[in-house]
């Protein structure tokens, strides 16, 4: 593998910021968190679907499902879910 000695910033996935640092001695990768839905708690109210600013949540079998590649770690869904069914991981 070819290794650069220069630190770099990159944005790896659509709408999702990631910090990428590469040098000759170390590789450090730090991603933001994503929203996780507890399907046992989700009542299918769709509040999170309507409030997510990134349109990262859709309904599947009457439960909320987060597209991890679209989630931008804003925590809006955590705040608005009336069932406390979402947390960040
Ligand atoms: S707001 Fe909470 S209960 Fe409502 S659909 Fe989203 S995860 Fe489920
Ligand atoms: S954390 Fe923000 S972007 Fe991610 S699913 Fe929840 S509301 Fe959408």
Q: What is the pLDDT of residues 17-69, one digit of tens each?
A: 555 444 444 444 445 799 999 999 999 999 999 999 999 999 999 999 999 99
pLDDT at position 7 is 47
Q: Confidence class of residue 76 from pLDDT cuts 50, 70 and 90? A: very high
Is the pLDDT assigned to residue 11 strictly greater than 50?
A: no
Domain of residue 2: give its range: 1-31
Distance 26 CA to ligand 2 centre (A): 31
Q: Does the beta carbon of 67 sit less than 6 angstroms from any atom of ligand 2?
A: no
Q: Does the beta carbon of 85 sit less than 6 angstroms from any atom of ligand 2?
A: no
**Nearest in space to 34 (alpha carbons), one of 12, 51, 57:** 57
Q: What is the value of pTM for the model shown?
A: 0.72
Check if the beta carbon of residue 61 is closer than 8 Å to that of residue 46. no
- Note the ligand closest to the C-alpha atom of 40: 1
64 and 23 part of one domain: no
60 and 82 part of one domain: yes
Q: Does the beta carbon of 75 sit less than 6 angstroms from any atom of ligand 2?
A: yes
In this structure, the residue with its CA closest to atom 4 of ligand 2 is: 71
Number of folded domains that form the chain: 2
pLDDT at position 32 is 79
39 and 78 part of one domain: yes
Q: 27 in helix, strand or coil?
A: strand
């Amino acid at each position: 593998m070819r290794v650069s000695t220069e630190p770099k910033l990159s944005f790896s996935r659509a709408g999702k910021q990631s910090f990428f640092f590469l040098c000759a001695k170390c590789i450090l990768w730090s991603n933001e968190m994503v929203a996780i839905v507890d399907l046992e708690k989700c009542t299918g109210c769709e509040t999170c679907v309507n409030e997510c600013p990134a349109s990262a949540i859709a309904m599947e079998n009457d439960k909320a499902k987060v597209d991890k590649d679209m989630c931008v770690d804003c925590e809006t869904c955590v705040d608005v879910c009336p069932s406390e069914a979402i947390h960040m991981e």
